Structure 1
Amino acid sequence: MHCADTHAPQTSQRGWLVLLCTSRLLQGMIVTAYSGVLPFMRDDWQMTAAQAGSIQSAWHVGYMSSLFAVGLLADRYGPHRIFVGGGAIGAAAALAFALFAHDHRSALLLYGLAGLCAGASYTPGLQLLSLNAGPAVRGRAMGLFLGAASMGYALSLAVVAGFSVVAHWRTGLLVAAGCTVMGVLLAVLALRRMQPPAPRIAGAPREGVLQALNATVRDRPAMAGNWAYAFHCWELMALWAWLPAYLMASSRGGASAWPAAGIALAAFAHLVSVFGSVVGGAASDRLGRARVMMIATLASLSLSFAFGWMWTWPLWALAAMAALYNLLAIADSSVYSTALADVVAPHRLGVAFSVRSVMGFGAGALSPWVFGLALDWGQARFGFGSTYAWVAAWSSVGLGALLGPWMIVRFARLSADQRGSAGAPR
């Protein structure tokens, strides 16, 4: 963390990255809170797998929309204002979900609303990192930022698991929502240590939203990276939504006496993935963005097709593979963000992140629902406790992400051509 700080502009004070990452950790706790209570809600409300998956998909639809909006707003009003103001609105929406969801329909609407208000803690945070961390350490800084989010996801699952056993799953939701409020307060402290927003030069032309959108869509390296990110999100969002339920179902089928063991093990898998975010981001500074993306993508795709076949494994072995799967699936997440910042002009980076968010979280909104459909089909055809039902569900994750490697190759070629053109004599 000190490395990122010392390469930041002179006006940034030490400690800004620690505060920013801690804020992201706390605000990220609501993201996996529903995954932690999904098995309990499904039992209480008698939901099908498709209905249960649709609630997580509603979050992603809302989150995708918010990321698009906050990217545009951050380019116009500055990421500093949007990071704090939007975070406060997101915290209020998280509390509304925890307090008032009482059936499938209300949870669908309220968790979707929470997602719709949650984007300010992500895209503007990436822009703040780009402004305060130098290019040589930007990958590492973004890895720390996304690793902090993974820590929040793990902590959220652990909190939900604990309160679901000793009290009630709603109490866990309330604690997770309360943490988002604390995250907003830390965001205010973080901004005080960062370089202030650059003043706009009087008379300088301001690029319109439509112009920036058109420039981004026509930016071939950026769009190739965005497509690769979309296929990455299909895999990652389905994994996050259904891993706790998968491990919990496996523990019920075995000798485990603790009904929340699967959720606790999913929290451990998220905790391990913190290492993946940090190492992946740092490795991309040394080895190149595309190379790290390709290695992580091929490895996680292999596990997507293999994971369902592990249904009958001992729980400890399945949990170990879940941790590896989570680590590999998230190892390149920060790299996509860094790669986009490398190839896009700073004045339209927010718009570029907005376009990427629509593509990535649009795919991520569909995949948990498709997973649930595949699981319902498999259980109807092969039986509730059949391995083949889970094979069908996890295979839908791999199939939806198969084009990712091709887009990574395309991004590497186009970004190399862009660098060559920029360096060519005029």
Structure 2
Amino acid sequence: MNRFLLLLTASRFTASIAMMIYAGSLPFLLGEWRMSGAEAGAVQSVFNLAYAISLLVTSWLSDHLGAKRVFLASNACSLVSFLIFAFAARSHESALVLYGLVGLTLGGSYTPALMLVADKVPSASRGWAMGLVLAGSSLGYCVAIALAAACIPVIGYRWTWALVALFLCAGFAAALAALRREPNRIHRREPVAEGETRFRESLASRPSVLLTAGYTSHCWELLGMWAWAPAFLTISLAGRIDWSAATLGIVIACILHFSGALATLISGGLSDRFGRKLILVTMALAGAALSYVFGWSIGWGPAVVLVLAALYGFATIADSGVLSTAMTESVAPRHLGSMLALRSILGFGAGAVSPLVFGWILDLTNPGLDTPRNWGWAFAVLGIGGSLATLFAILLPRDRRRPRRAVD
């Protein structure tokens, strides 16, 4: 495990705290800001849509300006935008705008990071390396929810969000240290080798089409789950376990996202050994099955609910790094940013809609209730994405031992 990967993972860790802090704060904000389920989901949906636009732009820019340059600039901008959000967001309306601004700046900390890993790590161990970077993201999500649960009751959401800004400062420093000696590679300026595949052919190839469709379906399920599972677990377990709000929040964060960190590491390593397709099919199928079951567990025993949550957090993110690794092996380095841009706008566009649809279904199936008790149908809607991701993974061609490098 080298210094580059550790520092890049640390940077992703801090960016992910900023990405998940609103979801972690939702149990407190619903009452303080007097939001309905649809309004709360709308804030997350605006963030996800802005994040998708950011991914589109920064992925394309990485092809033309270099992933290193875009990654560092995005980290600096996300720090500034989050400071504005932390000290100015005071209502549903202001959060729609300011958290959306955070989303517009955070995307450059994700896809350029994947491109940096693809440049640095050979294919034989790339699944594990991608898994490590994404594990840092999952740990960040875990810390965000735990931080919200532990700090908001004591110092309020304003100062809790200010604390998150300090994490972003440290993340920016880690990014600078990770890339200090790395060149800013721009593959589009490199000479084209004889026999290399053109961009249109890569775009229309069976693997890239199925991987993009699978990623889109994966994001529908994953981002909807991330937005709403913490609130579901808080409501489901409150009063049934003799824990403080802070302890409950920390347990929820660890169960959902620490299991996710393990998932990306394990699935990435397994995909290096057994192939990308097998892991994608297995994990997508498991995630879909759990989406159809999880929401109905609100009245079940606390231990059963917590075990299901751990399995759900594991399965829904386990295919994420493998999907990214498979894409880097199926698309040319000089056009990888453009392909990731297309994938991102579709995937996170779907992820922007799913929390809103979830909130709408939640309101529809809980008429007149201040605290929702019927969650099964809303989570089942997320399972549609997992089912489609399974289908697209099944349709992928067999893995090849030495993936062909397809460049313009």
State the TM-score, normalizing by the size of structure 1. Answer: 0.88
Cα distance in 2 between the residues matched to 1:202 and 1:159: 44
**Superposed, which structure 2 residues align to 1:97-176 within 5 Å?**
97-176=85-164
1:393 aligned onto 2:339 = no
Task: Provide, for residues 50-109 of structure 1, a one-character-per-residue CA deviation record: whole Å limited to 9, x for no partner.
Answer: 100111111110110000100111100100111101110011111111111011111011
Give 1:225's aligned residue: 211
Cα distance in 2 between the residues matched to 1:351 and 1:80: 16
Compare 349-358 and 313-322 and name the one that shifted more.
313-322
Give 2:195's aligned residue: none
Q: What secondary structure sits across from 2:396 in the alignment?
A: helix
CA contact (8 A) 1:250 1:262 kept: no
CA contact (8 A) 1:94 1:177 kept: yes
CA contact (8 A) 1:216 1:222 kept: yes
Give 2:395's aligned residue: 410
Q: Which amino acid counterpart does residue 234 of structure 1 have in structure 2?
A: W
Q: What is the CA-CA distance between 1:420 and the residue it aligns to? A: 9.2
Structure 2 counterpart of 1:351, from 298, 320, 338: 338
| Residues 341 and 392 of structure 1: CA distance in aligned 2, closer, same or farther (over 3 Å) | same
Task: Provide, for residues 376-420 of structure 1, a one-character-per-residue CA deviation record: whole Å limited to 9, x for no partner.
Answer: 111118x56675x2111111111243211111122235x76x969
Q: What secondary structure sits across from 1:184 in the alignment?
A: helix
Give 1:333's aligned residue: 320
Q: Which amino acid counterpart does residue 228 of structure 1 have in structure 2?
A: G
Q: What is the CA-CA distance between 1:193 and the residue it aligns to? A: 4.3
Compare 166-175 and 251-260 and name the one that shifted more.
251-260
1:56 aligned onto 2:41 = no
Q: Which amino acid counterpart does residue 101 of structure 2 have in structure 1?
A: L
CA contact (8 A) 2:218 2:385 kept: no
Give 2:69's aligned residue: 81
**Superposed, which structure 2 residues align to 1:274-423 within 5 Å?**
274-380=261-367, 383=369, 387=373, 389-412=374-397
| Residues 254 and 90 of structure 1: CA distance in aligned 2, closer, same or farther (over 3 Å) | same
Q: Which amino acid counterpart does residue 17 of structure 1 have in structure 2?
A: L
Q: What secondary structure sits across from 2:184 in the alignment?
A: coil
Structure 1 counterpart of 2:230, from 231, 244, 251: 244
Q: Aligned Cα RMSD in Å? A: 2.3
Listed as ranges, the gaps of 5+ residues in structure 2 are 193-197
Q: What is the CA-CA distance between 1:200 and the residue it aligns to? A: 7.3
Q: Which amino acid counterpart does residue 33 of structure 2 have in structure 1?
A: W
Give 1:7's aligned residue: none
Task: Provide, for residues 324-378 of structure 1, a one-character-per-residue CA deviation record: whole Å limited to 9, x for no partner.
Answer: 1101111111000000001101100011111110111011111111111111111
State the TM-score, normalizing by the size of structure 2. Answer: 0.92
Cα distance in 1 between the residues matched to 2:72 and 2:250: 31
Q: What secondary structure sits across from 2:387 in the alignment?
A: coil
Task: Provide, for residues 103-158 of structure 1, a one-character-per-residue CA deviation record: whole Å limited to 9, x for no partner.
Answer: 11110111111001101111110000011111110000000000011011111111
| Residues 420 and 97 of structure 1: CA distance in aligned 2, closer, same or farther (over 3 Å) | closer
Listed as ranges, the gaps of 5+ residues in structure 1 are 2-13, 206-210
| Residues 257 and 143 of structure 1: CA distance in aligned 2, closer, same or farther (over 3 Å) | closer
Give 1:6's aligned residue: none
CA contact (8 A) 2:67 2:185 kept: no
Compare 145-154 and 320-329 and name the one that shifted more.
320-329
| Residues 373 and 114 of structure 1: CA distance in aligned 2, closer, same or farther (over 3 Å) | same
Cα distance in 2 between the residues matched to 1:201 and 1:160: 43
Q: What is the CA-CA distance between 1:261 and the residue it aligns to? A: 4.7
Cα distance in 1 between the residues matched to 2:302 and 2:239: 10
